[in-house]
Copies of this chain bind each other. A is one copy, B any other.
């Protein structure tokens, strides 16, 4: 019996299948420090125990995206080791704050399958859920990914494409954010005077700064999440591949863009939900990443006066500053665009 896992191929999945992913992971202050060194986020709530405690957290919570990447990483060996492309996200919700010392594990349910007409690949839809050591849910999200078939002739079950929400409803937001004391929220320490009321639907913000990505950084980050997708690590194999280079984990772009977005969104301290997202083009080491945001919508949270939700489009680009808000070109996507992410962030009122 072979001891080595080669991951699942398209024909191995069944709708309704539950997959318990390997390697539970205790998140520590060490992970947080490394995340800070790799991305440089400056949101005060995650940066300072004192700040977080003052507004109502027991201590500084772990960055939402670090939680996302750790949960995502666990799903890779079972879901996307044989993936051609990570196609999209939907219905992502942060359900409880995570603190250093918490242990995360993940379970995925296959919620849809659709073979491609080539019969060489198919699309797998999974709902992945991250759990804490006590069984509490911390995160759930849907992603769909194009996965190779082991054998082109292999029979596959009939197609089932799940209905996915376009965006989370405001009533579904905020579970991971305790009621905060906005009077104790120090806007000077947080780095910006702008509250929920200061943002307008349609407003676009160029986050100005750019950051160049190094190969060592992307490898360290991706290993930190125990993400085993070989395309991020194996230059020997990549040299023979379509790109000829190691491809950077899409989540790396999300974290870079989110950290850059501090300059303009300093008080949008919590990602409450990921409505959708698309990795528009691949990123390779040596490129410089820029970001801009657009306020797509604003919403009150039922029963809460402390925070409101901004629905934000976060666009990341490569080697192209955000000043002209690049998104679409004459023939579809603007060639500089890396990421088009749609999320809800909470902002003090």
Which residues in A have some Cβ–Cβ distance to B below 8 Å?
1, 3-6, 20, 22-26, 28-34, 36-40, 42-44, 47-51, 60, 77, 100-101, 103, 105, 133, 188-192, 194, 198-199, 203, 205-212, 214-217, 219-221, 223-224, 226, 228, 230, 233-237, 246, 263-266, 286, 288, 290, 319, 321
Asked whether B33 lies within 8 Å of A50 as measured between CB atoms, the reply is: no
Closest approach, in angstroms, between the C-beta of A115 and any C-beta of chain B? 26
Q: What would 17 more interface pairs be, CB under 8 Å, given A22-B266, A37-B220?
A: A3-B199, A3-B203, A4-B264, A22-B190, A23-B190, A24-B50, A30-B31, A33-B34, A33-B224, A34-B34, A40-B228, A51-B103, A212-B215, A212-B235, A212-B236, A214-B215, A214-B219
Give A205 to B1 CA distance when docked, in angstroms. Answer: 11
Asked whether A60 lies within 8 Å of B26 as measured between CB atoms, the reply is: yes
Give A237 to B217 CA distance when docked, in angstroms. Answer: 20
Chain A's interface: helix, strand, loop or mixed, by majority? mixed
Contacts of A214 in B (CB 8 A): 214-216, 219
Give A219 to B216 CA distance when docked, in angstroms. Answer: 11
- Tallying the copies of this chain within the complex gives 3
Give A198 to B4 CA distance when docked, in angstroms. Answer: 13
Contacts of A188 in B (CB 8 A): 20, 22
Contacts of A49 in B (CB 8 A): 26, 101, 103, 133
Give A235 to B286 CA distance when docked, in angstroms. Answer: 8
| 15 chain-A/chain-B pairs, Cβ below 8 angstroms | A3-B192, A4-B206, A20-B188, A22-B189, A22-B190, A25-B47, A26-B47, A29-B33, A33-B224, A48-B103, A50-B133, A51-B103, A210-B236, A211-B233, A236-B321
